[in-house]
């Protein structure tokens, strides 16, 4: 079986990323650095293999990254709410320090990566992981043997990395998920395999030329 190849890209930087403020499903636009990063992705993807389809979270920061990065492709970007960031409920819009002060008991559950904690009005880690796993599995079935491009968020990539490496959801993150980084995974009968993770080599060279 020819593996299905997934190129999965985190959106460019926003002001809230720079402030380390939890965005969740609040719609925050790319800042100037994020737009430049999207241009760098665009230059890099010119050298990538042909994709069968392009999917993106419909949140503005991912969608705008996708629009810029795929401007040279003859493919429409397909809005895919399945790949939205996790909904962090009461914690959305807060920094870690603000969340710890405003909701100390909830913040401890957040830090512990409690599987069933849903931030009062948000989404539990277990439900979020199931959403991403089901969505990715559906695309793997739909695009067998093809290459697929996805634009998404840091929390989504956290779940994808754990799915591919069979790492438990409730253990601390010890792997990078940089803005505008490129990640490649294969899917076959043997399951998921990461072939490249957190690649930022396209950013420095192209950003030096753009800025």
Count, residues in the chain: 211
Phi/psi of residue 98, nearest 5 degrees: -70, -40
Torsion of CA 163, 168, 169, 174, to 10 degrees: -90
Phi, then psi, of 85 in degrees rounded to 5: -65, 160
Pairing of strands 182-188, 147-152: unpaired
Residues carrying an active site annotation: 11, 85
Per-residue pLDDT of the chain (211 residues; tens, 9 = 90+): 799 999 999 999 999 999 999 999 999 999 999 999 999 999 999 989 899 999 999 999 999 999 999 999 999 999 999 999 999 999 999 999 999 999 999 999 999 999 999 999 999 999 999 999 999 999 999 999 999 999 999 999 999 999 999 999 999 999 999 999 999 999 999 999 999 999 999 997 654 554 4
Residue among 51, 70, 73 nearest 62 (CA): 70
Helical ranges in the chain per DSSP H? 15-18, 32-45, 60-69, 96-102, 104-111, 125-142, 154-165, 201-210
Q: Is 148 left (phi over 0), alpha (psi -120 to 50) or beta?
A: beta
């Amino acid at each position: 079986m020819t593996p299905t190849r997934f190129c999965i890209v985190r959106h460019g930087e926003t002001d809230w990323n720079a402030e380390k403020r939890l965005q969740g499903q609040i719609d925050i636009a790319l800042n100037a650095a994020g737009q430049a990063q999207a241009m760098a992705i665009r230059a890099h993807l010119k050298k990538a293999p042909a994709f069968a389809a392009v999917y993106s979270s419909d949140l503005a920061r991912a969608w705008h990254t996708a629009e810029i990065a795929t401007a040279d492709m003859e493919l429409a970007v397909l809005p895919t709410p399945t790949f939205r960031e996790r909904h962090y409920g009461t914690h959305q819009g807060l920094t870690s320090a603000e969340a710890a002060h405003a909701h100390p008991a909830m913040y401890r559950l957040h830090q512990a990566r409690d599987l069933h904690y849903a931030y009062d009005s948000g989404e539990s880690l277990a439900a979020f992981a199931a959403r991403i796993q089901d969505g990715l599995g559906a695309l793997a079935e739909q695009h067998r043997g093809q290459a697929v491009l996805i634009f998404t968020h840091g929390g989504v990539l956290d779940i994808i990395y754990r799915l591919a490496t069979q790492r438990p959801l409730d253990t601390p993150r010890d792997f990078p998920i940089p803005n505008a980084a490129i990640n490649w995974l294969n899917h076959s009968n043997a399951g998921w395999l990461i072939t490249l993770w957190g690649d930022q080599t396209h950013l420095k060279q192209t950003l030096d030329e753009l800025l």
